[in-house]
Amino acid sequence: MFEVDKSIIDEIENGSDRACAIAGHAYIESLLPKALRAHLIESEEDWKILFGSDRRQGPVSSHGIVIRLAYLTGLISTPLKADLLRLKNIRNMFAHKADINSFEHADIVRITSKFEVLTIGIRTEALATQRAPSSRRKFEIAIGEVSQLLKSRLRCGMPAPILAPPT
């Protein structure tokens, strides 16, 4: 995973705003199902039915649905769900609106100013530099915070299932 992290981080930090948004979100989009899978009972057959063999064919192949499923299973909190949907919206705006090519676009600034959970790093940087981070920097920090949260969930794994009482 380290090599993937390194190349994604390079693209996020050094790419255009559009590349940063798309690569950053793609990274989160790849981590969330892994964290979710670690949180669920291991069943390859059921996983393939829900997600498809390549995560593109099943009924749970949409990233928005994966976010909601992660929330419903207790993997993520309500505010983190909202922030993940905000990150998804930023990615979609860069990917599908030709006129949005900068994090300083008013619509993007509005979204990055609404982060709820993903603010610790933003506040820390603002205190350290004595100025508010740019909208792009807020996005970069948010991607870093989410990736760390999801990686910690990967390490935790599935809680022990509750067994039915004997009959």
Q: Over the stretch 89-102, which tens digit does the pLDDT of each residue have?
A: 999 999 999 999 99
Q: What is the pLDDT of residue 84?
A: 95
Q: What is the pLDDT of residue 44?
A: 87
Q: How far apart are CA 154 and CA 128, in angstroms?
A: 31
**Taking the mean position of all CA atoms in its chain, how far away is CA 68?**
12
Of 144, 43, 23, residue with least CA distance to 90: 23
Q: How far is CA 37 from CA 46, 47, 79, 166, in A?
A: 11, 8, 21, 28
Q: How far apart are CA 165 and CA 127, in angstroms?
A: 54
Confidence category of residue 54, pLDDT binned at 50, 70, 90: low
**Does residue 49 have a pLDDT over 60?**
yes
Q: Which domains does the chain have, with CATH numbers?
A: 2-156 (1.20.120.330)
Q: What is the pLDDT of residue 128?
A: 74
Q: What is the pLDDT of residue 162?
A: 54
